[in-house]
Structure 1
Amino acid sequence: MAESDPTPILQDPSDGASKRGAKRDSLFLLTTLSDETGNPLGKARVRNLSETGLMADCEASFRDGDRVVVQLRGIGDVSGRVSWVRGDRIGMAFDARIDPQAARKPVSQPQGEGLPLYLRQLPRVAKFSR
């Protein structure tokens, strides 16, 4: 870990939010995990997210130190390592800082795409005078 990173890596997640330097946002985000070669490892439910890591409930089992890549909406692939495991819940420390607010932004679609036709905005039509 770089000396400029003020966030300590905790060995036991129960000993505390007060020891962490990075602010965490609680959220519920479905995602997928893979290994560094792209092989899928299963789905996960991200429970909280910060600049330096996340906590998630996972389908697959992991061990401390496992290298994983998580696909985060609005951010993309983020690599890191499993820093702790408690049952089906893991803590993951990212290799590089992210902007956690980007994962909260709605996924943008072209205007009206995905809406039923009756809810889409009609295009403007030029008016002709007689």
Structure 2
Amino acid sequence: MEQVEQQEDASVERRSGKRHSAVLLLGKLCGDVPGVCLVHNISATGLMARFVEVPSVGDSLTIEVRGLPPVRGTVRWVRGAKAGLEFDSPQPYEQIFLHEDEEGTIPRAPRFPVSLTADVKLGDRKLTAELLDISAGGAKLRADGEVVVGGAGQIIVRPMGTAIFGTICWVRDGRFGFRFVSPLPIDTLAGIVTRR
């Protein structure tokens, strides 16, 4: 019995030494052509994520996640669509859990700049808009027609025909924010981002 307890204690000690925080965070691969990943685990020294475009061992990547600036690291292992990235320097990963940063701003998921056309349907009205950026939870668009905060409807991203339901959350200078009813699946987001 005592030997079993000692083995359990040793197991707990090993886990505490390699402790990672389990999360599901959208990650933005920074570079000439941005990519998308889903971060499953993160620590001060690295992360594990599922990639749409799987990197190779030894690749140098820069990833941006909510609450942290873009972080550079090296891919140390790959298993299927998942890969482990070791950061070039330790990161204050606890910031991803903060509701507000030091300036009192709410950290948000990375935005992906795009330049696509979208049809906007609000009730019985339809207008054409330019999709300026997108994240898993919302988008920024520009349109000539009048839109009002609180208006509900859908945007249809061309040329894919992806329909996304949501509401208008802000309007300013011909631009408006569209908050999605539910987050976009990573593959859908990646398909939109790579169309740029």
**C-alpha contact (below 8 Å) 1:22/1:52 kept by paired residues:** no
Tell me which amino acid in the other structure corresponds to 1:90: A
Task: Name the residue aligned to 1:61.
Answer: 54
Say whether 1:24 aligns with 2:17: no
Deviation at 1:41, TM superposition (A): 4.4
What aligned pairs does 1:25-44 form with structure 2 within 5 A after superposition? 25-34=21-30, 38-44=31-37
Q: Which runs of 5+ in 1 are unaligned?
A: 1-17, 110-114, 117-130
TM-score normalised by structure 1 residue count: 0.62
Q: Identity, % of aligned pairs?
A: 31
Q: Which has the higher contact order (CA 8 A, sep 6+)?
A: 1
Higher strand proportion: 2
For residues 43-91 of structure 1, the C-alpha deviation after alignment (integer angstroms, 9 at most, x for no partner) is: 0100010000000001112110000000021111100010100011010
Deviation at 1:42, TM superposition (A): 1.3
Tell me the distance in 2 between the aligned counterparts of 1:44 and 1:99: 20
Say whether 1:47 aligns with 2:47: no
Cα RMSD after superposing both structures: 2.2
For residues 2-43 of structure 1, the C-alpha deviation after alignment (integer angstroms, 9 at most, x for no partner) is: xxxxxxxxxxxxxxxx48844200011001113xxx223410
Say whether 1:84 aligns with 2:77: yes
Tell me the distance in 2 between the aligned counterparts of 1:82 and 1:20: 23
Tell me the distance in 2 between the aligned counterparts of 1:49 and 1:39: 25
Tell me which amino acid in the other structure corresponds to 1:33: L
Q: Secondary structure at the match of 1:101?
A: helix
Tell me the distance in 2 between the aligned counterparts of 1:90 and 1:97: 18
Tell me which amino acid in the other structure corresponds to 1:32: K
4+ residue segments displaced more than 3 Å: 18-22
Tell me the distance in 2 between the aligned counterparts of 1:84 and 1:20: 22
Pick aligned residue for 1:99 from 92, 115, 124: 92
Tell me which amino acid in the other structure corresponds to 2:21: D
What is the aligned residue count?
A: 91
Tell me the distance in 2 between the aligned counterparts of 1:22 and 1:76: 23
Q: Which runs of 5+ in 2 are unaligned?
A: 1-13, 107-148, 151-196
**C-alpha contact (below 8 Å) 1:32/1:40 kept by paired residues:** no
Q: Secondary structure at the match of 1:103?
A: helix
